[in-house]
Structure formats: structure tokens, C-alpha cells
Amino acid sequence: MAHAMENFCTISEEYDIDGEVGFALPNPLENLPDVYNDWMFIAKHLPDLIESGELRERVEKLDMLSIDHLRDHKSQRLAHLVLGCITMAYVWDQGCGDVRKVLPKNIAVPYCQLSKKLQLPPILVYADCVLANWKKKDPNKNMDVLFSFRHTDCSKGFFLVSLLVEIEAASAIKAMRMQELDALRKALLKIASCLEKALQVFHQIHEHVDPQVFFNVLRIYLSGWKGNPQLSEGLIYDGFWKDAKQFSGGSAGQSSIFQCFDVLLGIPQRASGGSAAQFLQDMRMYMPPAHRNFLCSLESKPSVREFVLLKDDADLREAYDACVKALVNLRNYHLQIVTKYILIPASQKSKDKTSQEPSEQGNKGTGGTDLMNFLKTVRTTTQKSLLKEG
């Protein structure tokens, strides 16, 4: 088959995709070199510093540090996570509408320099807060997050459930070695199974994340400064850029795994035009460059859909549709989650006359999108890719 994925070891090495955790960073570092102890102290104590009102003062007193001591990829990724968390905390502080529009140069300069090196934007992205913000607590593989913003922000549940969904779905990547007809059919069934398991993991969010706490606390710290009326011109990164810059906050749209399945299965999300297609394209710049390159590599080859249509084999078509249906089910469930965790709390908050947040912002995603319209468009495009109706 023309689309045959190379040996997984080759893919893993070239595109930084791990055999166990997929696009997540395997075994992230938990500490930076000692020269960055002041950064680490603030990041590890964000809940207390925010609650006491000391956070901004502590950030403003930091020395300007060079990034030269961040010599390997994992230390650079940890530093990007640390500076991203500090930046979000500095901008939004206690989440009461007191927003800072200028990031001090002692943080802005090293953050922007590091972001340039990593080819990521200087804002907390999905690759930071989900893919690199985890550790194993014990030999039983129980997990915890490295950093959170508030003591009661349910970030552990939200970030770890997102990570586990990602890992479960990414386990399908190893099945993408399609040489012959029967092998491809089995690979598609494996992918469908992995997506079904990812959906089951997704259900755990109800056990670990409270809708009101997510909407009114954690979501604030994930919000970006693009399409956000509270920072309508963006954020000024003092000492690095003269003008304010606009960047989207971390969102599931920045996950490589689901764009990977769209490309692999020939689901024309980006060809559909409109704001959804543009948003998905824009979000690739928020992914690590190796993962962006992987998506481009997939796009340069014929899709599985083309091969399935060419062969006109009933069992192969059925296996293909099983994958698409599993993806549709995940996207339907995502819509339900957004209704429970964003739309309903936003509606309740809009009745609160004391709310500091513009009402229209409540219905937007942390990436700045019109969330429901975006997700419905993506879901509908996926549904239309089924070969058999019904």
C-alpha cells in the first residue's frame, strides 16, 4: 500500500512519538537546573501565592535569567511549562477581572527566547499543561500533575483525564502499518477499538472535574489573549516585542492525535473551508514542530480512505466505517462535555449581575473559538465521511 507507515521505531525517532504515551512527553523532568530555582519555587507554589496576593510581586522581583543552562529537550519543555504557568497566573491572578496587559521583561524575554527555540508560542499550550505536566507517583503508575493554579481548581483531574484519553487514542498509532488488505482491515479495527477505549476514559472526567469549578476557576487560567475582549489587543511581552501579541489559550484543538486520525482516514476537516478549518490549521503552530511535521508527512501520502474506496472490499469498508463512527462518538461526547462544563455554567453566570466576564466570552473556548459551532462543524464533517449511511 502506498500509504504504508514506516516501521514504528522510525516514526517514533523522527517525529518524537513514544511507543507508550504517543504524542505526550515520556517521563517529563520534574525539576530544572538549580539556577532556575526561583522559577520552580513560584510554579510549585502558585496556589498559595495567588491566594495570598503575593504572586505578581514575586514575579516582578525575579532576576532576568539566561536560557543557556536548558541544554536538552526535556529541560526546555519543563521550562516552557513553568514559564507558561507563571505567565497565566501573572496575567489572570485571582481571576476577578484584574488583568495585567504587560508581561515583565524578566519573564517575557527568557520565555520568548525559549519559545523561539522550541518553535512554540509564548503561552501555556496543550503540549505544556497536558502532554508535559505529569509524573508517576509510585511504581503502580498512579499519576499526578506537576503544577496547578489553585488548590481547588480540579486541574489534576482535567489534565490527567485529557492525558489518558490522549494516550489511549495514541496507542492506535502502532497499528498504522498497512501493507496488505487483511493487515489494513485489522489495523482499522485496532484503531476503532483504541478510540472506543479513549471514549471510556473520557467518561472519567465526571468523577474528577466539577463543572462550576472548571468554568469559574481553571478555565480562566487556560484562557489566551486572542479573541478575548479582556485583552482585546493581546499581551505585551516587555523587552522582546514592541507591540502586543495575540495567542490562543490551550485547547483540545492543539492535540495532534485527533488531527492525525482525520488526516489518516481522509476526513476533510481542513478542506471544508470556513472558520473551523482555519482554526485547526492555526492550532498546528501550537504543536511541537516534530508533531506538526508528522501531520504534514501523513498529508503528503494517499489517505486510507482513498485506498479503501479503490479496493471496494466490503469488510475493509466496514472496518473503515468503524473508525469513523468511533471518532464521531468521541466528538459527540465532547459536545456533551462542553454543554455541561461551559455552556450551562456560562448561562448561570450570565444571570449573576456581579460577573466581571463579558457574557459572550463565556461561550468561547480557551482557544478563542465559537466553541459549539466549531465542534459541530468538525463532528458533521466526520459524520459525512462514513461510506455507509445510517
Beta-bridge partners for 364 = 370
What 3-state DSSP class applies to 103? strand
Q: Would you say 45 is a known binding-site residue?
A: no
Secondary element (H or E) of residue 236? strand 236-237
Residue identified by cell 501565592 is 49
The residues, ordered by sequence, that sit 6+ positions from 105 with a Cβ below 8 Å of its Cβ are 64, 238, 239, 240
Give the dihedral sign, CA 268/6/117/83.
positive
Beta strands in 56-179 (DSSP E): 102-103, 135-136, 143-144
CA distance 324 to 322: 6
CA distance 269 to 76: 32
Contact between residue 379 and residue 335 where contact means Cβ atoms under 8 Å apart = yes
Contact between residue 144 and residue 137 where contact means Cβ atoms under 8 Å apart = yes
Phi, psi of 309 (to 5 degrees): -65, -35
CA distance 202 to 164: 8
Binding region: 334
Binding region for heme b: 334
